Amino acid sequence: VIVSARKPEFFQISQPMYEVVTEDGLMRPCFKAHS
């Protein structure tokens, strides 16, 4: 799930992506999208 409220900037400029890695919400940068 990708969530962003920065429209239309979300589609126009590069934004960092993060993945949630723990149950308590710890996030780390994500450099590859998994499908």
Q: Which stretches does DSSP call E strand in the chain?
A: 18-20, 27-29
* pTM for this entry: 0.42
The predicted-structure confidence for 1-35, as pLDDT tens digits, reads as follows: 566 666 676 667 676 788 888 999 898 888 766 66
25: left (phi over 0), alpha (psi -120 to 50) or beta: left
Residue 4: the pLDDT is 60
CA distance 13 to 17: 12
Residue 24: the pLDDT is 93
